[in-house]
Amino acid sequence: MIINKILNIFLKISDWVFWLPHIILINLTAFLMFLTFGLAAIPLSLIWMIFYFPMMGLSWIYNKAPFLRVPVGILGMPLSFLAYVYVNCISHMGEERQKVIKMFICISWPYCIDAQRFIDGKYLGELEYERIFDLAYENDMHEILHDIDYDNRRI
């Protein structure tokens, strides 16, 4: 949990430091979406996947191999930080919920694989379930997780 706490400190600082570039880049990507009739979403989504898959892989390694937690943390924290800054800099393209989910995946690293399993509606153990909701409450994202939990139970 200490790696996640350190990551959250960096993310909160970056929100204050990069607030003006975020606003400019969000509007720029929204304008780009408007000009290309949404086709610019394809390369933006591919760039997100470049961050997403290594984050999930490192999260899996972090959870399965406790003796590798320090080197994985050294690799994963900057990757998660860059992914969070990237997600903050692009427009939500009409899907605000998906942007919040992407931000939560970045915030919840090294437990982002558990967060993704929760979002997909897969069973989590009590410890993982509690950890995901604790992270959501710490970062004021609990409402979106309650909505996802409700949707998963309704299916």
The answer to whether residue 155 scores a pLDDT higher than 60 is no
**Which among 82, 71, 88, 103 has a CA at the least distance from the CA of 29?**
88
- Using omega within 30 degrees of 0 as the cis cutoff, is the peptide bond preceding 21 cis? no
Q: Is 81 exposed, middle or buried (0-12, 13-18, 19+ CB in 10 A)?
A: middle
In angstroms, the Cα distances linking 33 to 93, 94, 96 are 7, 10, 15
pTM comes to 0.83
Mean pLDDT of the chain: 84
Domain residue ranges of the chain, discontinuous segments joined by +: 2-154
- Taking the alpha carbons of 46, 140, 107, 110 in that order, is the dihedral positive or negative? negative
Angle at CA 73, nearest 5°, toward 68 and 79? 135
Q: What does the pLDDT look like over 8-17, one tens digit per residue?
A: 788 888 888 8
Average pLDDT of the residues in 108-119? 85
Distance CA 53, CA 76 (A): 11
Categorize the per-residue pLDDT at 116 as very low, low, confident or very high, splitting at 50, 70 and 90. Answer: confident
3-state secondary structure of 49: helix
Helix 142-154, helix 112-119: angle, nearest 10: 40
